[in-house]
Amino acid sequence: MNFWFFTRLVSVTVAALLIVAAWQSFPLVSGILLGRFAEPRTVAPRGDLAASEESAIAIFENARDSVVFITTEKRMVDPWTRSVYDVPSGSGSGFVWDGFGHAVTNNHVIAGASRAIVRLADGRGFPARLVGRAPEHDLAVLHIGIGAGRPAPISVGTIKDLRVGQNVFAIGNPFGLDWTMTTGIVSALNRELPGDGDLPIRGLIQTDAAINPGNSGGPLLDSAGRLLGVNTAIFSPSGGSAGIGFAVPVDTVNRVVPQLIARGRYAPPRLGIRFDPQVDAALARNGTPGVLVLAIDPEGVHLAPPPAHDIHCENTGNIGSNKKNAGLTGIFGKATIQAFRVIAFAIRSISPTDLKIA
């Protein structure tokens, strides 16, 4: 009885093993038998690209060579040997500004760095020299000695006619993934973020184009391939893209960068007057708008006062309510880069105690 049971058990086990072996070898056997009939599948025709695809491709190909990859190093001192050495400290993006080797990036990309290397799309790398920076706008200008084969600068646009909903394209090096393009729309205009010091960065463009660490300093382009802004910041609890990115508007860039190149620093336009916020508050309580001028900047050149309609101020409300929201934009029809010192003398012919600006 035991012998019979043992024989049956062995037979069943062997049969099971044979079945399992056959099942596992079936794909191999069938592949060998049918291999002579296996061929690559036919590629289906794609057809023409959509017009939006053609446009996006053209924007990237036209701007790619003008975008640069910036890596920075920080100088360290060994506490034991006192030897000095450089260690990698970060990376970011930038873009060629003109035909003289100037490149624009964010100030925070190069802040604290002892050395910066700018790499072009063709693989060439150059040590960069800091020309100037404007922390209040998070902008900086570098100079690189490219020589021959200098990339063309990106065409400059404007935000004066920019509207929410327009398509935008961001090119940069997120997380070190060089020359990456993302797309989106203008989500909002005139956003404000805390800046360097006590003044905020104003007039920012908000976009849902994916912007991540490493995109900072790269260009934000419109559908014509023109520069709209410099990608600067993201709002994200996780540190990655959450669809809320911000760019310094091109009009600000086009005002600040020429000063950085010419003078190495940015001198923001000032009204050239001094006033007391407490006095202004008292005036406001009495229904008197504006500010009471206590003193006038003595520097500048003597000019006859212009007509009132030739002095233009850009503000988001009464100057007396928030002096940080006031900025001189023009006088005598000239841009503030030439005229910001003149305003004090335009005011001189009026008694300081009588002057109100609103």
The verdict on residue 332 lying in a domain is yes
The verdict on residue 152 lying in a domain is no
End position of a domain, from candidates 81, 112, 144: 144
The verdict on residue 38 lying in a domain is no
- 224 φ/ψ angles, rounded to the nearest 5 degrees: -95, 0
**187: CB partners within 8 A, 6+ apart:** 164, 206, 207, 208, 244
Q: Is 233 helix (H, G, I), strand (E, B) or coil?
A: strand
The verdict on residue 5 lying in a domain is no
pLDDT higher at 189 or 84: 189
Q: Is 29 helix (H, G, I), strand (E, B) or coil?
A: helix
Q: Are residues 182 and 224 in the same domain?
A: yes
pLDDT digits (tens, 9 = 90+) for 15-26: 677 676 666 665
Q: Are residues 231 and 313 in the same domain?
A: no
Confidence of residue 310 (pLDDT cuts 50, 70, 90): very low
Q: Tell me whether residue 138 is one of the annotated catalytic residues.
A: yes
End position of a domain, from candidates 144, 159, 185: 144
3-state helix, strand, coil in the chain (%, to 5): 30, 30, 40
For residue 278, what are the domain limits? 273-347
What type of residue sits at position 336?
T
Q: Are residues 91 and 131 in the same domain?
A: yes
| Average of per-residue pLDDT values in the chain | 76
Report percent pLDDT > 90 for the chain. 41
Contact 298, 345 (CB under 8 A): no
End position of a domain, from candidates 263, 286, 317: 263
Among 67, 44, 75, 74, which Cα is nearest to 215's?
Answer: 67
Rg, the chain, Cα only: 32
Q: What is the CATH number of the domain that holds 208?
A: 2.40.10.10
pLDDT digits (tens, 9 = 90+) for 25-54: 656 555 555 556 678 889 899 889 999 999
Q: Are residues 112 and 183 in the same domain?
A: no
d(CA 356, CA 343): 14
Q: Are residues 257 and 288 in the same domain?
A: no
- 114 φ/ψ angles, rounded to the nearest 5 degrees: -95, -15
The verdict on residue 85 lying in a domain is yes
The verdict on residue 109 lying in a domain is yes
Annotated catalytic residue: which of 93, 102, 137, 138?
138
Confidence of residue 235 (pLDDT cuts 50, 70, 90): confident
Q: Are residues 67 and 132 in the same domain?
A: yes
Q: Where are any strands of DSSP class E within the chain?
A: 67-77, 84-96, 102-105, 115-119, 125-134, 139-144, 167-172, 180-193, 201-207, 219-221, 227-234, 245-249, 273-275, 293-296, 311-315, 326-331, 334-335
d(CA 246, CA 190): 10
Q: Tell me whether residue 216 is one of the annotated catalytic residues.
A: yes
Count: domains in the chain? 3
The verdict on residue 42 lying in a domain is no
Q: Are residues 122 and 183 in the same domain?
A: no
pTM of the predicted structure, to 2 decimals: 0.68
Q: Are residues 133 and 189 in the same domain?
A: no
What type of residue sits at position 286?
N
The verdict on residue 89 lying in a domain is yes
Contact 315, 325 (CB under 8 A): yes
> Which pLDDT does position 70 carry in this prediction?
93
Contact 80, 203 (CB under 8 A): no
Query: What value does the mean pLDDT take over residues 122-149?
Result: 90
The residues with which 207 forms a beta bridge, in sequence order, are 186, 245
Query: What value does the mean pLDDT take over residues 124-152?
Result: 90
Annotated catalytic residue: which of 216, 241, 280, 321?
216
pLDDT digits (tens, 9 = 90+) for 245-304: 999 999 999 999 999 999 998 887 666 666 667 766 776 777 766 666 666 665 543 334
Residue 159 reports pLDDT greater than 90: yes
